[in-house]
A and B are shown apart, each in its own frame.
Chain A
Amino acid sequence: MTLKSKLMATGAAFLIATGGMVYADGHATHPETGETLASDQTFTYRDLDESPSIDPGVAEDSAGGDIIRDLFEGLYNQDASGALIPGVALSHEVSEDGLIYTFTLRDNAKWSNGEPVTAADFEFGWKRAASPELASPYSWYIELTTVENAAAVIAGEMDPSELGITAINDTTLEIRLTQPLPYFPDMTTHYTLFPVPEATIAEFGDDWVKPGNMVSNGAYVLTEHVPQERLVRERNEMYWDNENTIIDKTVSLIIPDENVALTRFLAGELNRTDVPAGQFPRLAEQYPDDIMSVPNACSYYYTINLTDTTNPALLDGNVRQALSLAVNRDVIVENVLAGGQWPAYTFTHWATAGFETPETPIAAMDQAERDAKAKELMAEAGYGPDNPLSVNLIFNTSESHRSVAIAISQMWKQTLGVETELANQEWQTFLETRGNQDYEIARAGWCADYNEASTFLDLMDTNSGYNDAQYSNAEVDALLAAAKTSDNPQAAYTQVEQIISQDVPIIPIYHYAAAKMLDDAVEGWPYENFQQKWYSKDLYIVAE
């Protein structure tokens, strides 16, 4: 081999070793797409507020989840379409009765201090998150997985060591459920079920989440955290897939005002920010390459109080149906919100995995037919021009909730002659009023905890703690219970949606969209991911 060919061979080996990235004009290129990468791989985005916690066991909000998914890695991750891909776990097996899950973990997963990530770290993380001592506001999520003894551990009736999770050896984790749950593996992408470093927590106590103390197993490590200002995470050299990670640094900046955030985005300080209410059409026209609107796993609806503290007229099913029919959802999403939202005739978001939006009479009609039907039902209920109905509608203080409420009250007035008294309340006061059924009609919103229809429809269960309408229908309860153990629950979900469309304990109004400004140099964004679970390690910035 000549010197020249030796050099060429060495160069080729180097290129392979650097993950296939080739260098041209000082810039790397993407190993798969061949796009030229920007020299500065820093992704900066806006958050509305400081997250309550970045401790996986204690965290409770989705913005905190974005941070935690960079810092920690659970059993499985989600890919750009929301499908499961290996995280720390490579695969799993399920027992025949569907109750025992055995996960096989990779042996090259490491904490940022170089220690291996083992099944025991998951066992510790789950037991810690369920323990009354930690008092995690998300401990109920563990109960939702139906893992053995979760309820008793959370209630303090059993020791956390009794929780149905056992590390068989370093790379084998066994989880025992009390009922078969087909979507259980999907639930493991949620941060409450992530591993945490026991030795670090023992050493620093509550301060373990601070930069310098925190040891994590995700693609990034925490390097700076100034509450209410910024949080910086940088590449974790110990991460098993660090070689294929392109973004070097992710910075989240707390910018409470969305218009200021937009200005800073336009000035080039941010790669991603939210679209301020009502500005989607203008921005879409001016910055077509930088705007996106994708389904977001939440539904917006009005809940109707069905207890004896309500307006007696609302106990009449015809009145509730008429109110629902008279809401012109197209006007709400196209003219009032104009942010790419979808009109809702079902409670479950249309984009939920495995969910087929069922046929309902209300969805099949056009608005003129709905209005005619609404008038008919209202007349049957004994209300009309001579005897107009008056209702009370409360919402929490927000410009967008106000706009929707005003529009709907006008629709009710014009179509049905209903007089609506609107009242906005400060957030905490509103929650208390609604939770105590001290209302007639109230705004509500619900976001999916996992990508399956039961995350929405379980609210319609008589015993759900979130059933603010206090709706109770034995048939719905039975269908929801059956869906839990069914391999194909769609039929049950279809029936539940049809029943609630008839009973109208809630009026679905629209399905959310996530409207964002995203720098067109940022690639790899998981547009198709319904829960908008994104990982910095999957993004990259191309040279402009």
Chain B
Amino acid sequence: MFSFVVRRLAVAIPTLLVLVIISFILMYSAPGGPFNSERPLPPEVLANIQAKYGLDQPFWRQIVNYVWGVVSSFDFGPSFQYKDRSVNDIIAQGFPVTLTYGFWSFVVAVSVGVSLGVAAAIRQNSWLDYLAVGISVGAQVLPNFVMAPILVLTFTLWLGWLPGGGWNGGQWQNLVMPVIALSTSYMASIARITRSSMLEVLNTNFIRTAKAKGLPMRRVIWRHAMKPTILPVLSYLGPAFVGMITGSVVIDVFFSTGGIGQFFVNSAFNRDYSVIMGITILVGALTILFNLVVDILYAWIDPKIRY
């Protein structure tokens, strides 16, 4: 296992490097630049700005300088758009916000999703099954950009219970709606995967044997059926977790949380190269990390898997 982890981490470095280079090339090949605006800058002003940010250097040197800055001092450079901040500032401020609502969304999605899926499977074709399937289908077809305004209208305008947005240091009142809006579609997918996986497991021979031994149903489910049921869910949860904690532009736009999702999308529109790169590397690194975590959990849950 240890050598597996070391091997995977060793592969992660060139993977990230390739990610950086491809992103850099794609970014520069998009038309426009970070300092274009409705009002084009006079050439001498533009020249000053480009010199300040090193954009007057040849392309290869910009990549080398960038990678060197990241590797040697973990410096992702200044933001070209938000001139009062560095990319490190932006990530340091926005990522904890995203991480907080992403984490709680994950907790809600997994706990509600798995419970619904299991309940539906063990009471297949009962009203509970239909209700659980109904909820998960409903949640799946209601995208968060529809969900978010409905929540704001209901809880802010009509009931007046919750603030319509903002972060306010992460108060629970500001967390409720982003968490509901972000978690519902993930919750629906988890419920469906859990249900079908559980149904499959319940029809296997070892479950029949367990039942034949006279074990109570609760024990059969928890002791024998749960672990194999969770395997396909787990492979979904790795990327889902990264998706949730690296920000959703819909959540950030509707609830004005100040999370990095909004910065990421704005940076693409504004050609804010350093912010695009910084967040791409962050998301890339987290994806690699959580895929590794999922693989390790796999081996832990399923003894048949050995690396």
B-contacting residues of A (Cβ < 8 Å)? 49-50, 52-55, 58, 60, 132-133, 135-137, 139-140, 143, 151, 154-156, 206, 209-210, 226-230, 253-257, 259-260, 263-264, 266-267, 269, 426-429, 431-433, 435, 444-446, 465-466
Task: Give me the 7 closest cross-chain CB pairs, A-B, nearest first.
Answer: A428-B32, A229-B258, A135-B52, A264-B164, A135-B48, A132-B48, A53-B83
Q: Are B81 and A428 in contact (CB under 8 A)?
A: no
Known A229-B257, A435-B40; contact A267-B93, beta-carbon cutoff 8 A:
no
CA distance A453 to B43 in the complex (A): 24
A155 to B254, CA, bound (A): 43
Contact between A256 and B256 (Cβ–Cβ < 8 Å)? yes
- Closest CB-CB distance, B75 to chain A, in whole Å? 13
User: Which of A136, A154, A257, A266 counts the most B-chain CB atoms under 10 A from its CB?
Assistant: A257
For residue B79, which residue of chain A has the nearest CB? Answer: A52
Cα–Cα, bound, A465→B37 (Å): 12
What are 24 A-B contacts defined by CB distance under 8 Å?
A49-B266, A50-B82, A58-B84, A135-B48, A135-B49, A139-B45, A151-B44, A156-B48, A206-B84, A227-B85, A227-B94, A228-B252, A253-B256, A256-B253, A256-B256, A256-B262, A260-B152, A260-B256, A267-B156, A267-B160, A426-B269, A427-B32, A465-B43, A466-B39
CB-defined interface of B27-52 with A at 8 Å, one 1/0 digit per residue?
00011110111111111110011011
Given contacts A132-B51, A428-B269, whether A226 and B258 have CB atoms under 8 Å apart is yes
B68: min CB distance to chain A, Å = 21
Q: Which residues does chain B contribute within 8 Å of A444, judged by CB atoms? A: 38
Q: Which residues of A contact B243 (CB under 8 A)?
A: none
A209 to B259, CA, bound (A): 21
**Contacting pair B93 A428 (CB below 8 A):** no
Q: Is B66 part of the binding interface, using a Cβ–Cβ cutoff of 8 Å?
A: no
Judge whether A263 and B156 touch: CB under 8 Å: yes
| Residues of B263-286 whose CB lies within 8 A of A | 263, 266, 269-271
Whether, in the assembled complex, B157 has its beta carbon less than 8 Å from a beta carbon of chain A, the answer is yes
Docked CA distance A254–B33 (Å): 24
* B32 A431 Cβ-Cβ under 8 A: yes
A428, B256: Cβ atoms under 8 Å?
no
CA distance A206 to B32 in the complex (A): 27
Measured CB to CB, the closest approach of chain B to A192, in angstroms, equals 12
**Chain B nearest CB, measured from A423 CB (Å):** 14
Within 8 Å by CB of B45, from A154, A209, A266, A427, lies: A154
Partner of B90, one of A143, A227, A435: A227
A133–B45 alpha-carbon span in the complex (Å): 11
Q: Is B239 an interface residue (CB 8 A)?
A: no
Measured between C-beta atoms, what is the minimum distance from B83 to chain A in Å? 4
CA distance A104 to B99 in the complex (A): 53
CB <8 Å contact, B44 and A154: yes
Contact flag A435-B41 (CB < 8 Å), given A256-B253, A259-B149: no
Contact status A53-B84, CB under 8 Å: yes
Within 8 A of A (CB), among B206-263: 252-254, 256-259, 262-263
B residues near A52, Cβ cutoff 8 Å: 81-84
> When chains A and B are docked, how far (Å) is the Cα of A256 from the Cα of B266?
11
**B160 and A229 form a contact (CB under 8 A):** no
- Any chain A CB within 8 A of the CB of B167? yes
Q: Which residue of A133, A143, A226, A263 contacts B157 across the interface (Cβ within 8 Å)?
A: A263
Q: Is the CB of A466 within 8 A of B40?
A: yes
B274 CB, nearest partner CB in chain A, Å: 14
Point out the residues of chain B lying under 8 angstroms from A135, CB to CB. Answer: 45, 48-49, 51-53
In chain B, what residue has the closest Cβ to A430? B32
Using known A-B contacts A52-B81, A267-B156, A466-B39, determine if residue A228 contacts B165 with beta carbons closer than 8 Å: no
> How far apart are the CA atoms of A428 and B38 in the complex, in Å?
9
A257 to B254, CA, bound (A): 6
B52 partner residues in chain A, CB cutoff 8 A: 133, 135
**B153 contacts A by Cβ under 8 Å:** yes
- A228-B262, A263-B157, A465-B40 known; A255+B45 contact, CB < 8 A: no
B30, B31, B38, B256: residue with the most chain A Cβ atoms closer than 10 Å: B256
Q: In whole angstroms, how far apart are the Cα atoms of A272 and B82 in the complex? A: 24
Chain B proximity of A127: nearest CB distance (Å): 14
Q: Is the CB of B35 within 8 A of A431?
A: no
Min CB distance B45 to A, Å, is: 5
- Asked if A226 meets B269 with Cβ closer than 8 Å, knowing A132-B51, A135-B51, the reply is no
Identity of the chain B residue whose Cβ is nearest the Cβ of A449 in the assembled complex: B39
Can you name 15 extra interface pairs (CB under 8 A) apart from A154-B44, A264-B165, A429-B31? A50-B82, A53-B84, A54-B84, A135-B53, A143-B42, A156-B44, A227-B263, A228-B94, A230-B167, A254-B258, A257-B253, A263-B149, A428-B36, A431-B38, A466-B40
Q: Which of A254, A428, A445 contacts B271 (CB 8 A)?
A: A428
- Complex Cα spacing A55 to B82, Å: 11
Q: Find chain A residues with CB under 8 A from B30 CB.
A: 428-429
Count chain A CB atoms within 10 A of each CB in B36, B49, B83 and give the residue with the most.
Answer: B83
Task: Quote the shortest CB–CB distance from B129 to chain A (angstroms).
Answer: 37
Q: Do B83 and A58 have beta carbons less than 8 Å apart?
A: yes
Decide: A255 near B269, CB < 8 A? Known: A140-B41, A432-B36: no
Rounded to whole Å, the gap between the CB of A7 and the closest CB of chain B is 45
Residue in B closest to A459 when the chains form the complex, CB atoms: B39
Q: Does the CB pair B153–A263 fall under 8 Å?
A: yes
Could you tell me the distance in whole angstroms from the C-beta of A150 to the nearest C-beta in chain B? 11
Give B63 Cβ to nearest chain A Cβ, in Å.
21
C-alpha gap A445/B93 in the complex (Å):
34
Q: Once bound together, how far apart are the Cα atoms of A266 and B153, in whole Å?
A: 10
Give Cα A26 to B256, complex, Å. 35
User: Judging by beta carbons under 8 Å apart, are A139 and B93 in contact?
Assistant: no
CA distance A350 to B152 in the complex (A): 40
**CB-nearest residue of chain A relative to B38?**
A445
In the complex, per-residue mask of B137-168: 1 if CB is within 8 Å of any chain A CB, else 0: 00000000000110011001100100111110
Q: Which residue of chain B has its CB nearest to the CB of A266?
A: B157
When distances are taken between beta carbons in the complex, the residues of chain B under 8 Å from A151 are: 44
Asked whether A137 lies within 8 Å of B82 as measured between CB atoms, the reply is no
